Amino acid sequence: MPVLVVVGAQWGDEGKGKIIDLLTERVDIVARYQGGHNAGHTVVVGMEEFILHLIPSGVLHKGKQCIIGNGVVIDPAALIEEMDGLASRGIAIDENLLISRNAHLIMPYHKAIDVANEKLRGNKKIGTTGRGIGPAYADKISRRGIRMEDLLEPDIFRDRLATNIGEANFILERFYNAPVVNQDQVFEEYMSYAQRLKKYVTDTTLFINQAIAKKKKVLAEGAQGTHLDVDHGTYPFVTSSSPTAGGACTGLGIGPNTITEVMGIVKAYTTRVGSGPFPTEQENAMGELLRSRGREFGATTGRPRRCGWVDTLIIRHAVRVNGFTSVAITKLDVLDTLDELKICVGYEYKGKLYEEMPSDLSVLERCTPRYITMPGWKQTTIGIRKYGDLPKKARAYIEKVCRLSGVKPAIISTGARRDETIIMEQPFKKAVKTPAPRGKKTSAGR
């Protein structure tokens, strides 16, 4: 019953799409468990680049089942656009996609409220993607959300829409002084989406659990990253869902005991989009260099990503809250030209040294990072496929980051393409390990 959960260890955009696409070969099902089309997961196949937002990053492989789980919030217009975009590039979306009946819908008023709220916050804004993610999850938690299954029942949908749109329009008009949303228009629009999407909608929790019982392998795809998690991230500068590994259980309806591995995706440096604390941020030529070499511009909004040094405190926090069994280090090649590299090992604030990440936002916002410095390797690592072929100084950097963070690297990514990868340990090794024969002493029994 192996389930592998893939989670971003930082603030998103760690390169999850690339690693998930790579691991899809080894699994039967790829299932997204949270977030919405705020995500942008890039997969490069040969010369072609695909950016997935809602559809699992496993979709480029034939014969793999992709699932959008109950924990995801779906803007049907965005989903249909993504399906059409893939189809126009020869990627068929048919029986290979299933959508949970219980996934909540993003409605046009969610988007309008998201945008209006950011505008009102001014320089205190979260820097959301403006996709309506927060308001959609707020309605879900307030028990008035509209789900995929409601979309398939016109009378129920009409009724729920009428109740919700009244309140949403009141807030839009009276509180935000923003344009309201037309109920009849939304109804007609969403009914046309229902026609298009109904064949994909099913009880995905039952499907996944039955597959797990048949020993199918499942990859649970996380979007965003640990520090954008609504509970464990840099609140309130977070998204409104649970990207951390526990989110896979609630977002797909699987028991924690079905999870055999949790892989953290760790970028070899750090980036963040939107507002919020970022202790190792480099608002200088170094940050510019990382941005241009790493092509650090949002895959969803095109915004320039904030860039900085790797931070072992935030990785250690991610290890704690996710229980990583291994990590994939991505974008090592971006660091190829640097003379020296800094690794954050602590924060100093008001005379105190923090060696573990504090949850206190004011410390994170004002602390001075304490670094160690490593020499750069000053040669290309692009496309290297064997660990031993990496320059010695690059290996020393990886080993130092991993040791300080308390993680074990299973994969090192040396380029955006599938083949630009070093595989040190195959996932699911533990799950497929054959038990010791009866009577023979295992190391645990000694």
Q: Is 18 in the site for ligand GDP (CB under 6 A)?
A: yes
Supply 132's token pair.
């309506």
CB of 28 to ligand GDP, least distance (A): 21
Residue from 14, 82, 261, 311 touching ligand GDP (CB under 6 A): that is: 14
| Piece of 236-244, 291-299, 302-310, 337-345 that binds Mg ion (CB under 5 A) | 291-299
**Between residue 28 and residue 67, which ones bind ligand GDP under the rule CB under 6 A?**
40-42, 44
Binding site for ligand IMO (CB under 6 A): 8, 12-13, 38-41, 126-129, 131, 133-134, 223-225, 228, 239-240, 273-274, 299
Report yes or no: 52 and 90 within 8 Å, Cβ to Cβ. Answer: no
CB of 360 to ligand IMO, least distance (A): 19
On the question of a cis peptide bond just before residue 154, with omega within 30 degrees of 0, the verdict is no
Q: Are strands 73-74 and 104-105 parallel, antiparallel or unpaired?
A: parallel
Residues 6+ apart with CB under 8 A from 113: 132, 135, 168, 171, 172, 176
Q: Is 331 in the site for ligand GDP (CB under 6 A)?
A: yes
Binding site partner of 258, from Mg ion, ligand GDP, ligand IMO, none, Cβ cut-off 5-8 A by kind: none
Report yes or no: 380 and 318 within 8 Å, Cβ to Cβ. Answer: no
Check residue 203 and report its DSSP letter.
Answer: -
> Is the CB of 10 or the CB of 275 nearer to ligand GDP?
10
Residue from 1, 5, 10, 15 touching ligand GDP (CB under 6 A): that is: 15
Binding mask 379-418 for ligand GDP (x = CB under 6 A): ----------------------------------xxxx--
- For 183, the 3-state DSSP assignment is helix
> Is the CB of 386 or the CB of 438 nearer to ligand GDP?
386
Binding site partner of 131, from Mg ion, ligand IMO, ligand GDP, none, Cβ cut-off 5-8 A by kind: ligand IMO
Q: What is the DSSP string of 98-113?
A: EEETTPEEP-HHHHHH
Q: To 10 degrees, what angle do helices 154-170 and 108-121 make?
A: 20
Q: How many CB atoms lie within 10 A of CB 222?
A: 32
Q: From CA 222, how far away is CA 17, in angstroms rounded?
A: 10
> Is the CB of 277 or the CB of 298 nearer to ligand GDP?
298
Report yes or no: 31 and 208 within 8 Å, Cβ to Cβ. Answer: yes
Q: From CA 268, how far away is CA 255, in angstroms rounded?
A: 32
Residue 186's nearest CA partner among 112, 293, 267, 272 is 112
> Is the CB of 224 or the CB of 414 nearer to ligand IMO?
224
Q: Around 68, how many Cα atoms within 13 Å sit in the side-chain half-sphere?
A: 31
Which one from 37, 41, 53, 317 is the annotated catalytic residue? 41
> Is the CB of 196 or the CB of 303 nearer to ligand GDP?
303
User: What is the CA angle 27-31-36, rounded to 5?
Assistant: 150
Annotated active-site residue 41? The verdict is yes
Number of residues that bind ligand GDP (CB under 6 A): 22
CB of 12 to ligand IMO, least distance (A): 3
- For 396, the 3-state DSSP assignment is helix
- Give the residue numbers marked as catalytic: 13, 41
Q: Which residues bind ligand GDP (CB under 6 A)?
A: 8, 12-18, 40-42, 44, 295, 299, 330-331, 333-334, 413-416
Q: Which residues bind Mg ion (CB under 5 A)?
A: 13, 40, 299
